[in-house]
Amino acid sequence: EAQVTQNPRYLITVTGKKLTVTCSQNMNHEYMSWYRQDPGLGLRQIYYSMNVEVTDKGDVPEGYKVSRKEKRNFPLILESPSPNQTSLYFCASRDRASGANVLTFGAGSRLTVL
Amino acid sequence: DAKTTQPTSMDCAEGRAANLPCNHSTISGNEYVYWYRQIHSQGPQYIIHGLKNNETNEMASLIITEDRKSSTLILPHATLRDTAVYYCIVRPPVNSGGSNYKLTFGKGTLLTVNP
């Protein structure tokens, strides 16, 4: 089944403890992206990647890092999490060649930073 | 990017058609209309998209007015599982170049399907 898989789905952590949210897709998509969703603010893009080793900032990149060493994986790294990064995170991928802006989203990762 | 306007919320009876409107009066000639939905706290799900002709797939139909300033998403036989926030988004086609073509999800329409 074509899908985007995120892990962990739920995580409670403490301020300053580095964590990584993994994202993997099995559709051979070039484009991948991370969003966060907060009440009243909607979905905001954190980082995106056009292909392997090509990443760029979205609208809210502060406090996050990403890497794209393989086509299928696009992990989101919080080096020193803070409470304002408590949010619902979504990874998404898109087939760049199709011409259609059809994103496939993961199920989401709910992160709480105490 | 063209701005879209959707009602905040709508109700629909189970088994009836749900018609969700969207206004996009500033749409450009090459911009597509996309519809996504998000069931509570799940990842957004692509539904359908179109340029000027009406489109239909296994999930829904999309009716775009001739002047392309508005569109309607139709769920022909709504079920309780169709309760979700529905987003109408207008974007140009993704080309093979190096652009983000970020999707901007506004507030959408909360569709509640009632038994």
Q: How far is A108 from chain B (nearest CA, A)?
A: 6
* pLDDT tops 80 at residue B97: no
Higher pLDDT residue, A89 or B91?
A: A89
- Assess contact for B42 and B101: CB atoms under 8 A: no
Average pLDDT over residues B71-75: 98
The residue to which tokens 């899908």 are assigned: A3
Tell me if B46 and A103 make a contact (CB, 8 A cut-off).
yes
* The pLDDT of residue B68: 96
* pLDDT tops 90 at residue A106: yes
Token pair recorded at residue B59: 């999930």
* The pLDDT of residue B64: 97
The DSSP line for B22-75 is: EE-TT--TTPEEEEEEE-TTSPPEEEEEESSS-EE-SS-EEEE-TTSSEEEEEE
Q: Which of B49-53, B72-76, B80-84 has the lowest mean pLDDT?
A: B49-53
A88 falls in which pLDDT band (50, 70, 90)? very high
Closest chain B residue to A106, measured at CA? B43
Mind listing the pLDDT tens digit for each residue in A6-63? 999 999 999 999 999 999 999 999 999 999 999 988 899 999 999 999 999 999 999 9
B1 falls in which pLDDT band (50, 70, 90)? low
CA distance A53 to A28: 15
Closest chain B residue to A103, measured at CA? B46
- Residue B107 φ/ψ region, left for φ over 0, alpha for ψ in the -120 to 50 degree band, beta for the rest: alpha
Per-window interface: B 32-61 vs A, CB < 8 A: 32, 34, 36, 41-46, 49
Chain A residues whose CB is inside 8 A of the B93 CB are: 99-101
Token pair recorded at residue A83: 């409470």
* pLDDT tops 60 at residue B98: no
Please give the backbone phi and psi of residue B55, each rounded to the nearest 5 degrees, phi first.
Answer: -130, 150
| Signed CA dihedral, B82, A86, A23, B96: sign only | positive
Closest chain A residue to B105, measured at CA? A43
* pLDDT tops 80 at residue B96: no
Higher pLDDT residue, B40 or B92?
A: B40
Q: How far is B91 from chain A (nearest CA, A)?
A: 8
Average pLDDT over residues A66-90: 97
Bridging pattern class, strands A31-38 and A4-7: unpaired
Instruction: Report the mean per-residue pLDDT for chain B.
Output: 92
CA distance B30 to B42: 30
* The pLDDT of residue A3: 95
Tell me if A101 and B106 make a contact (CB, 8 A cut-off).
no
Tell me if A104 and B94 make a contact (CB, 8 A cut-off).
no
Average pLDDT over residues B83-106: 83
The strand pairing partners of A11, in sequence order, are A111
